[in-house]
Each structure stands twice: as C-alpha cells, then as structure tokens.
Structure 1
Amino acid sequence: MSVRDIADLLGIARSTVQDGIGRAATAGLSWPLPADLTDDVLECKLFARQGTKQGVRRLPEPDWSVIAVELKKPGVTLTILWEEYRAVYPDGYGFSRFCDLFRGFERRLTPTMRQVHIAGDKVFVDYSGKKLPIVDRKTGEIREAEIFVGVLGASSYAFAEATWTQTLPDWIGSHVRMFAYFGGVPRLIVYDYVPGHVIGVLCPERLCAPAGVSFCDQTTRLSVAAHLWRTTSAPSYSP
C-alpha cells in the first residue's frame, strides 16, 4: 500500500504517514510487530526523543574549558583532542560537530578583539616553540632544529621551515625564503615573541644590528611587535 493510500484510508496527511514510517525505520521496527511489544514500549521507541528539552544535547561532552587550555599547548590540535575524546566516548560526537561545539564555547568566553585582514597586508611570524629532532645518518647524532613559521593574515597561507638556530643570519634567511615562497612582501611583518636580535631590527636606535637594519631597508617594510620585551637596558648583540 502506498503512502497516499494509507493517508486516504486513515484520513491523515501524507507527511504524517511518512514521519511514522521514518520513525519506525529509525527504531528498527518492521511489520509484523513482535507479539510481546506493548503499546507503551512501542510509543517509547517511536517517540523516544519527544520529551527531550530543546537545546539539551544527547551525547556526552568533554570539559570544554580543559579543551581550551590543552589547545594552547605546542603541538596540540583539535584533531588530537577529538581523538582522545572518542577514545573515552566511542559513540560521542563526530569531528565536525565537536569543532562546532567548541567554537560555540569559545564565543561565550570573554570577548576578544577581532581583526579584519586585507590580502597581502600582514604576515604573522614566530618560531613554533617546539623543536624538531634531526638524526645524522652517519653518526647517529641527534640535533634539534628550530621551526620558523609565517602565516598571511587574510588567507592563512603558511610558510614553515627548519633552521638550526634563531640567530640573526637564520632569522633573516627564513624571511627571505618566506617572501620568495609567497611571491611578494607584505606591508607589515607582525611578531609575537620578540628575541633580542629582532628588537635590534625593530628599534635600531636601541641596539646596533646592522644586518637587521639593512634587511628592513631592503624590504622597505614596517615591522611591528605584538609583545615587545620590556627591558631596562638594551640586550647584548653578537653578529
């Protein structure tokens, strides 16, 4: 019997019939019904979620405040945290829903300044804070490399490379290779953590760093620092 025939026979809308068929399929019910299935149990199976209050989530959730703290640690991503969550709750939320719920939690936190980025305007530069161990094939010696990262504000297009140190030659070399990779130089270079040799580039009157000053002169770009060290005296500089 078709949905139309059932609706005409019972005098109800076809959408109501389709809804009932969908609920039965979701509950795993088929005709004929089991002989021991009571009306109360049948109603519970068909309308199990009807009594759930709007806005109440039906799956277990992690402590989002803990997730927010963990996410600030080097090397930690939402993917890793979601995998740990699913290890505890195998039937929990999928990755996309997990991310949506976390972003919703973030929006309820203390408001922060939102920035509007223009294409090609800014590149945000920093070292990752997590070193990469590199093994010498011949000697077996393990040496740790620094990870330089630059990200364009508007597109989040990223450049990353490993260098042995954060000294001025490596720092300038990473910038040159980053600009070549991007195919251009943005108007602003924005730094978060500012080591001593960078202060020399940003504030050459405080620190004699000829290579850094030359670098800024050649790129004709403005360098700004998100967090500049507060020092009572200029740090030492070794070329």
Structure 2
Amino acid sequence: MKINLSIKRPDFDYIHKELLKPGTTIKLLWEEYVDDCCSIKSPFYQYSYFCERYLDYVKKHNLTMHINHKPGDKLMGNWNDTCMTVYNQYTGEEIPTYLFEVTLPFSMYSYVQACPR
C-alpha cells in the first residue's frame, strides 16, 4: 500500500469565498480540509498553521478593506438569530429572547439588548 506524503494545500480562494457566508467559520473550513486530506490519505496542516497561511493569503491579495465612517453618521443594527432563555427572578418563568445588537462604526461602541419578541 502506497501512502501519499505530500501535503495537500488548502484552496484559499474557496475558503475566502465560503467565509463570506453566514455561519461559516475558519474552524469549520479547516475540518472540511482535514476530511478531504484523510479521504486521500494525505498529510494536512494543523489548525494554527492553516490559519497563519490563510492570513498570509489575505495579506498577499489585499482582501481586507478599511471603510472610513463619520462620527455619528451611521448606526449598524442586527437581530441575532440565536434564541436564548432569560429567567424571571421572581417567578422562575423561562422567557425565550432574541438579541438586538447595534454598533456605532466610527467608535466601535456596541449595545446589546435581549428582547422577548
């Protein structure tokens, strides 16, 4: 039985595009990469090295962008899809809540509030 000793390089173009999708993480993409390597019996990058190589890819291709904001000009808000439970301290009732998140992009000041509806 022959074993492949050359390390399969990650497809960072694909990884970068996938990271733009909601819910996708670098850890999840690394796990996919490891599964692909295992299926062809190829060695793979460890997680920390994988992340370092991805950051090198981002820097090399100038894939980050700085956006200038005027103070107080914009407010960015979002309803987080994650449901959490808050307990009424007097009755013990469980109240399902959603998080409302707001950020002022110039100062990066953030506000989060749990809302029952």
The bucket for the TM-score relative to the shorter chain is 0.5 to 0.7
Which has more radius of gyration? 1
What does 1:49-60 correspond to in 2, within 5 Å?
Answer: 60=9
Number of aligned residue pairs: 96
Shift of 1:70: 4.2
1:131 aligns with 2:82: yes
1:118 aligns with 2:67: no
Amino acid at match of 2:17: A
Distance 2:19 2:58 in 1: 12
Equivalence for 1:69: 18
Distance change >3 Å, CA 115–CA 84, structure 1 → 2? closer
Distance change >3 Å, CA 135–CA 125, structure 1 → 2? closer
Tell me the TM-score normalised to structure 1 length. 0.30
Root-mean-square deviation over aligned CA pairs: 3.8
The question of whether the paired residues in 2 share the 8 Å contact of 1:67 and 1:81 is answered with no
- Kindly indicate whether structure 1 or structure 2 has the higher relative contact order, using CA contacts under 8 Å at least 6 residues apart: 2
Distance change >3 Å, CA 60–CA 155, structure 1 → 2? farther
Amino acid at match of 2:74: K
What does 1:175-186 correspond to in 2, within 5 Å?
Answer: none
Equivalence for 2:30: 85
Shift of 1:149: 1.1
Tell me the TM-score normalised to structure 2 length. 0.52
Distance change >3 Å, CA 97–CA 105, structure 1 → 2? same
Partner-residue secondary structure (3-state), 1:131: strand
Shift of 1:117: 0.6
The Cα offsets for residues 96-143 of structure 1, whole Å up to 9 and x where unpaired, read as: 542342465573xxxx9x742123322212212x1222164846x5x5
Distance 2:86 2:112 in 1: 20
Equivalence for 2:113: 161
Partner-residue secondary structure (3-state), 2:10: coil
Runs of at least 5 residues in structure 1 that lack an aligned partner in the other structure: 1-57, 166-239
Give percent identity, aligned residues only.
Answer: 19
1:148 aligns with 2:100: yes
The question of whether the paired residues in 1 share the 8 Å contact of 2:103 and 2:111 is answered with yes
Shift of 1:93: 2.8
Q: Whose strand fraction is larger, Structure 1's or Structure 2's? A: 2
Distance 2:98 2:116 in 1: 6
